[in-house]
């Protein structure tokens, strides 16, 4: 079992740290963690997790640098996905969980560049469902990618479509910071526009 444990927020390069299979009391691959706060959106897992880390700490499997981000990993099957700063844009990156090998990278739109509220980069976590990855960028860019190869299936600029208010006090200082939620065949995000608090796609 490989579990992402560190995604440091404030650094020029974020480090992804994966640990060995000894974290779980059960044998076999870990359960999926497909979106922010886990499979049930409550920050809990149905797995039994060992707690004797002081006596028997897990070993580092691999460690790699990433772009800046305030999100966490989404994990499904043998892959882990991160949403990070890549130059002046935001990008989704897919990794092979067992080795840390980068499988694909897809840029999705502009990001913050001026040390806004503690650092630059996207503020949200990818959401995985079926063979798709959903991303919601700092400036209201909602994108659906193929989990297999990162190709764009569809993308919506919610700032333009719904009047997302990127220059209001909160958004101007921080950026859009809500992660997408998948419920059935719906993707739910914070709209950010006048009289539009929630958008369902």
Other CB atoms within a 10 A radius of the CB of residue 198 amount to 10
DSSP assignment letter at 164: B
Q: What is the mean pLDDT of residues 158-181?
A: 74
DSSP assignment letter at 58: P
Domains and CATH numbers, the chain: 4-200 (2.40.128.630)
Task: Tell me what pLDDT residue 149 has.
Answer: 98
Task: Tell me what pLDDT residue 191 has.
Answer: 74
pLDDT in tens, 13-64: 446 666 554 344 334 467 899 999 888 888 888 888 888 999 999 888 899 9
- Cα 104 to its chain centre, rounded Å, is 15
Q: Residues of the chain with pLDDT > 90: what percent?
A: 42
Kindly indicate the confidence band of residue 112, based on its pLDDT and cuts at 50, 70 and 90.
confident
CA 191 to CA 194: how far, in whole Å? 9
CA 89 to CA 109: how far, in whole Å? 5
Does the pLDDT at position 105 exceed 90?
Answer: yes
* pTM for the full predicted model: 0.82
Task: Tell me what pLDDT residue 119 has.
Answer: 80
């Amino acid at each position: 079992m490989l579990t992402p444990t560190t995604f440091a927020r404030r650094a020029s390069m974020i480090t992804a740290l994966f640990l060995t299979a000894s974290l779980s009391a059960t044998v076999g691959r870990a359960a999926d963690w497909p979106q922010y706060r886990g499979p049930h959106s409550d920050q809990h897992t149905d797995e039994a997790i060992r707690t004797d880390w002081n006596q028997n700490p897990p070993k580092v499997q691999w460690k790699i640098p990433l772009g800046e981000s305030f999100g966490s990993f989404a994990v499904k099957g043998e892959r882990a996905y991160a949403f990070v700063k890549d130059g002046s844009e935001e990008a989704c990156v897919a990794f092979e969980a067992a080795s840390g090998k980068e499988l694909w990278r897809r840029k999705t739109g502009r990001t913050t560049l001026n040390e806004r509220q503690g650092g630059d980069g996207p503020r949200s976590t990818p959401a995985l469902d079926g063979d798709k990855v959903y991303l919601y960028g700092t400036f209201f860019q909602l994108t659906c990618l193929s989990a297999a190869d990162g190709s764009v299936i569809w993308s919506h600029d919610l700032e333009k479509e719904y009047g997302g208010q990127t220059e209001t006090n909160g958004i101007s200082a921080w950026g859009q910071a809500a992660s997408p939620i998948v419920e059935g065949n719906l993707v739910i995000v914070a709209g950010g526009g006048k009289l539009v608090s929630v958008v369902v796609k």
